[in-house]
């Protein structure tokens, strides 16, 4: 039950000058993404600053995205938490407002164990009917979901895949080997799209697609169509841009880049702040090459 094959954008949440959600700009971003062949929209993930949204804001962004997308691509809602009860409540609310699937990060700060992960994800999966993609990002959570744990959770009916940000191709290979081709593995790192696809991955949940959706989509589509040379050329062409987008904590640079190309998304909510002057100039130099 794949939610998508290709490139999904982890879309930013735009804020106005008063730090309120700018729904007009969010609609512009949604249309820009769909016009440029994005395969899925992920609302309220890390890049969408879910951790500084109130629950009411969180659900309003998911609901708005579902309504504006109008079924043209899947809408996947971030609904993870380090509190299982809260993750269940958030997941159920996202399901109620029409999300096609959920992206659920591993618990952070209090972390848990591999056994706790299995119980955590199973409880969330049992509380909803829509598909779940797990999200493993050790650099942010301080905790790595092991391939054997992913395999055990792949047996849960509506857990259909994982977004892997482990930056470990051996781990991704082991996941694919254990879970088989019916379990969807997505790269969570824009600089690792091609390696993940080569191991049997289904695509990317991308940050950089916020500014170059068609190009990120094309990297996956070309590979899937057998044009590996052209896919590789595109991956390498945008490598420096990708590196620069992560020169500071995501989503600080991607919001700055969107502002540069004419989408007034504002800045991140505190504790995120604006880019340093030197890094801003480096980013500007790369964005002008798009």
Residues with catalytic roles: 135, 163
In whole angstroms, what is the distance from residue 243 CA to residue 250 CA? Answer: 11
DSSP-assigned letter for residue 86: H
**Is 129 exposed, middle or buried, given 0-12, 13-18 or 19+ CB atoms closer than 10 A?**
exposed
Residue 79: φ, ψ to 5°: -145, 25
Q: Is the dihedral of CA 36, 66, 57, 126 positive or negative?
A: negative
26, 13 Cβ separation under 8 angstroms = yes
Distance CA 148, CA 215 (A): 34
Backbone angles phi, psi at 264, to 5 degrees: -80, 75
Output DSSP code: residue 130.
Answer: S
What's the token pair of residue 10? 């982890």
Find all residues with CB under 8 Å of 265, minimum gap 6, and list them: 12, 14, 15, 22, 25, 29, 255, 258, 259
SS3 content of the chain, % helix, strand, coil (to 5): 50, 15, 40
- Closest by CA position to 45, among listed 214, 157, 209, 236: 209
């Amino acid at each position: 039950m794949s939610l998508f094959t290709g490139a999904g954008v982890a879309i930013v949440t735009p804020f106005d000058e008063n730090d309120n959600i700018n729904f007009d700009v969010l609609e512009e971003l949604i249309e820009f993404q769909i016009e440029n062949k994005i395969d899925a929209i992920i609302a309220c993930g890390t890049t969408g600053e879910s951790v500084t949204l109130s629950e009411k804001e969180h659900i309003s962004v998911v609901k708005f995205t579902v309504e504006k997308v109008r079924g043209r691509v899947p809408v996947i809602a971030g609904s993870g938490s380090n509190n299982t009860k809260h993750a269940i409540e958030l997941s159920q609310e996202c399901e109620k407002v029409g999300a096609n699937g959920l992206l659920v990060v591993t618990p952070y700060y209090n972390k848990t164990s591999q056994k706790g992960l299995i119980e955590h994800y199973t409880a969330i999966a049992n509380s909803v009917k829509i598909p779940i993609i797990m999200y493993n990002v050790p650099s942010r959570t301080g905790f790595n979901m092991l391939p054997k744990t992913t395999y055990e959770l792949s047996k849960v009916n509506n857990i259909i895949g994982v977004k892997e940000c482990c930056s470990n191709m051996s781990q991704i290979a082991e996941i694919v080997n254990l879970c088989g081709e019916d379990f969807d593995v997505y790269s969570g790192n824009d600089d690792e799209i091609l390696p993940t696809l080569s191991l049997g991955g289904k695509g990317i949940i991308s940050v950089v697609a916020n500014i170059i959706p068609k190009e990120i989509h094309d990297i996956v589509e070309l590979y899937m169509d057998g044009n590996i040379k052209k896919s590789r050329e595109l991956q390498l062409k945008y490598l420096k841009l990708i590196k620069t987008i992560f020169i500071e904590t995501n989503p600080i640079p991607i919001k700055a880049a969107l502002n540069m190309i004419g989408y007034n998304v504002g800045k991140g909510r505190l504790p995120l702040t604006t880019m340093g002057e030197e890094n801003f100039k480096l980013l500007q130099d790369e964005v002008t090459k798009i």
